C-alpha cells in the first residue's frame, strides 16, 4: 500500500497548499507610488548566479501565451545576467521527450528542458537526467507536492514550476451554469449545447475515478475492469451518440472548434488558458470535470525544469531554473499563461486559475512507475474501438486491462 499512501499524502498536501494560496487576504494598499518603467527582474534566490552558456528546450506552441511568458522571462534573465549566454530552442511537444532522450543518450542534447513529469520515471531509469538533490534545500517556497512531483526514490530530478490537470472550459455566453455531474453534462448536450473532446486516454482519464474506479492497485496491476472502467467507457459512448458532441484526435482542431465558437465546452489543461482567454475574454469559464459517484480524478502532474546528465554547466542551468521559478517569474506564468504555481508565495486570485487548482486537488498524481507506460496504447486503442467501432465498453476495458497486465508481467 506504499504507493496509495503516498498518493493520499500528496493530494492532501496539494489541497492544503492550494487553499492557502487561494485564500490569502489582499494586503492593504498604500498610497500609489510612481510605476517603474520596467518590471522588477526576478532573482534566482540563495545567491545563485546564471553563468556560462545554458541551452534550454521548451515545447510551448508558437505564438502561445506560454511561449510569450517564457520569452519575457528569458529576456529578463539575459538583462540581469549579461555575461551569461542563454540559448532557447522550441521543440514540438510530441517530440521533446524522445529527442531529449536520444540526443542525451548519444552524448549531446541541451543543458536543460522544461516539460511535465509525464516521463520522469522512465527518464530516470534511462539515466538521462542529472540528480539535483543538492539543490533541494533551496526550494523552501515550493509546495511539498511540487517537490514530490519532481522526485523519485528520495532524489530530486527537477526544479518544479507549476501543477497540471485538465478541467472543463465553457463559453459563458452559451452555458450559464457548468455541469457538475456527468448526468448534467449529458443533459446539456442532448438539449443542444456543443462539446468537443480530445479522443485519447489522457484527457478523459478523470472519469474513471468519477465512476468509482482506479487504474492500478498498489502492485501496478490494472484493475480498471473491476469497477468504474466499463461505466467510464459507456459514458463516453453515450456522449458519442449525441450529434452535438465531437470527439477529435487532433488537438489543434479541438482547440479551434472551441475558440471559433463552434463548441461550447471542451476538456483541456491550463496550458491553453491564456490562449482561450485572448479569444473569449470575460465569456471564458473553467470548472472541474463533471463527477459522478465520486469527483472526477484527472491525472495531475508537475511541470518543471530538468537538467541533462551531460550538462557541463549544471550550476548555471539550475540557476536559470531558479530564476524562472522565482515568485516574480511564477506570477508572470500565472498572469500571462494561467499556470497553477507551485510556489507558496504566489497568490492565486484569478478564478479561472483557482478552478484548475480545485481540479488538481481531486486528481490522481501521475504514477512514476514503468507499468504506466503500458496504459496508453491498450486504453487508447480500446477507446477507438468503442467510439469508432461500436465495441462493448465492458469488453473493451477488460481487453485493455489484460493487454496492459500482460505487457507488465502481472
Alpha carbon distance 401, 8 (integer Å): 24
Architecture of domain 10-18+46-164+300-365: 3-Layer(aba) Sandwich (3.40)
Instruction: Using CB atoms within 10 Å of the CB of residue 260, give its burial: 0 to 12 exposed, 13 to 18 middle, 19+ buried.
Output: exposed
pLDDT at position 23 is 43
d(CA 113, CA 325): 13
The pLDDT score that the predictor gives to residue 7 is 38
Q: How much helix, strand and coil, in percent to the nearest 5, is found in the chain?
A: 45, 15, 35
Per-residue pLDDT of the chain (410 residues; tens, 9 = 90+): 333 333 333 443 444 444 444 443 333 333 333 333 344 445 555 668 999 999 999 999 999 999 999 999 999 999 999 999 999 999 999 999 999 999 999 999 999 999 999 999 999 999 999 999 999 999 999 999 999 999 999 999 999 999 999 999 999 999 999 999 999 999 999 999 999 999 999 999 999 999 999 999 999 999 999 999 999 999 999 999 999 999 999 999 999 999 999 999 999 999 999 999 999 999 999 999 999 999 999 999 999 999 999 999 999 999 999 999 999 999 999 999 999 999 999 989 999 999 998 888 899 999 999 999 999 999 999 999 999 999 999 999 999 999 999 999 99
SS3 call for 336: helix
Q: What is the predicted pLDDT for the residue at 360?
A: 87
The pLDDT, as a whole number, for residue 47 is: 66
Task: Please tell me the predicted confidence (pLDDT) of residue 28.
Answer: 32
Where exactly does CATH 3.40.190.10 map onto the chain?
10-18+46-164+300-365, 167-297+369-407
Helix, strand or coil, per DSSP, at residue 56: strand
Q: What architecture does CATH give domain 167-297+369-407?
A: 3-Layer(aba) Sandwich (3.40)
Comparing C-alpha atoms, which of 269, 238, 293 is closest to residue 359?
269
This prediction's pTM: 0.86
Where do the DSSP E strands lie in 172-262?
Answer: 195-198, 245-248
In 288-344, DSSP assigns E strands to: 299-307, 340-341
Dihedral-angle region of residue 170 (phi above 0 means left; psi in -120 to 50 means alpha; beta otherwise): beta
Phi-psi region of 281 (alpha: psi -120 to 50; beta: other; left: phi over 0): left
Amino acid at each position: 500500500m506504499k504507493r496509495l499512501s503516498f498518493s493520499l499524502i500528496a493530494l492532501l498536501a496539494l489541497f492544503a497548499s492550494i487553499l492557502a494560496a487561494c485564500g490569502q487576504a489582499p494586503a492593504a494598499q498604500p498610497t500609489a507610488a510612481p510605476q517603474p518603467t520596467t518590471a522588477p527582474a526576478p532573482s534566482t534566490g540563495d545567491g545563485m548566479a546564471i553563468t556560462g552558456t545554458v541551452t534550454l528546450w521548451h515545447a510551448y506552441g508558437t505564438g502561445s501565451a506560454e511561449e510569450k511568458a517564457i520569452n519575457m522571462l528569458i529576456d529578463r534573465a539575459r538583462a540581469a545576467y549579461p555575461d551569461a549566454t542563454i540559448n532557447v530552442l522550441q521543440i514540438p511537444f510530441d517530440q521533446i521527450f524522445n529527442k531529449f532522450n536520444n540526443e542525451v543518450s548519444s552524448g549531446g542534447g541541451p543543458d536543460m528542458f522544461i516539460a511535465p513529469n509525464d516521463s520522469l520515471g522512465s527518464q530516470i531509469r534511462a539515466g538521462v537526467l542529472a540528480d539535483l538533490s543538492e539543490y533541494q534545500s533551496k526550494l523552501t517556497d515550493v509546495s511539498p507536492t511540487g517537490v514530490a512531483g519532481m522526485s523519485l526514490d528520495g532524489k530530486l530530478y527537477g526544479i518544479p514550476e507549476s501543477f497540471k490537470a485538465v478541467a472543463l472550459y465553457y463559453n459563458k455566453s452559451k452555458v450559464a451554469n457548468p455541469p457538475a455531474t456527468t448526468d448534467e453534462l449529458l443533459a446539456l448536450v442532448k438539449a443542444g449545447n456543443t462539446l468537443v473532446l480530445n479522443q485519447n486516454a489522457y484527457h478523459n482519464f478523470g472519469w474513471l475515478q468519477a465512476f468509482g474506479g482506479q487504474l492500478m492497485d498498489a502492485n501496478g496491476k490494472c484493475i480498471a475492469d473491476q469497477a468504474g472502467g466499463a461505466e467510464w467507457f459507456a459514458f463516453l459512448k453515450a456522449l458519442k451518440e449525441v450529434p452535438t458532441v465531437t470527439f477529435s484526435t487532433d488537438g489543434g482542431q479541438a482547440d479551434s472548434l472551441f475558440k471559433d465558437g463552434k463548441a461550447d465546452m471542451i476538456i483541456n489543461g491550463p496550458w491553453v488558458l491564456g490562449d482561450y482567454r485572448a479569444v473569449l475574454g470575460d465569456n471564458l469559464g473553467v470548472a472541474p470535470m463533471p463527477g459522478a459517484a465520486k469527483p472526477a480524478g484527472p491525472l495531475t502532474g508537475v511541470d518543471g525544469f530538468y537538467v541533462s546528465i551531460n550538462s557541463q554547466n549544471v550550476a548555471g542551468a539550475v540557476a536559470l531554473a531558479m530564476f524562472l521559478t522565482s515568485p516574480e517569474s511564477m506570477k508572470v506564468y500565472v498572469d500571462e499563461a494561467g499556470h497553477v504555481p507551485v510556489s507558496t508565495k504566489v497568490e492565486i486570485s484569478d478564478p479561472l486559475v483557482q478552478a484548475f487548482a480545485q481540479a488538481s486537488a481531486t486528481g490522481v498524481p501521475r504514477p512514476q512507475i514503468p507499468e504506466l507506460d503500458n496504459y496508453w496504447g491498450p486504453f487508447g486503442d480500446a477507446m477507438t474501438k468503442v467510439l469508432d467501432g461500436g465495441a462493448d465498453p465492458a469488453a473493451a476495458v477488460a481487453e485493455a486491462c489484460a493487454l496492459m497486465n500482460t505487457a507488465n508481467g502481472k
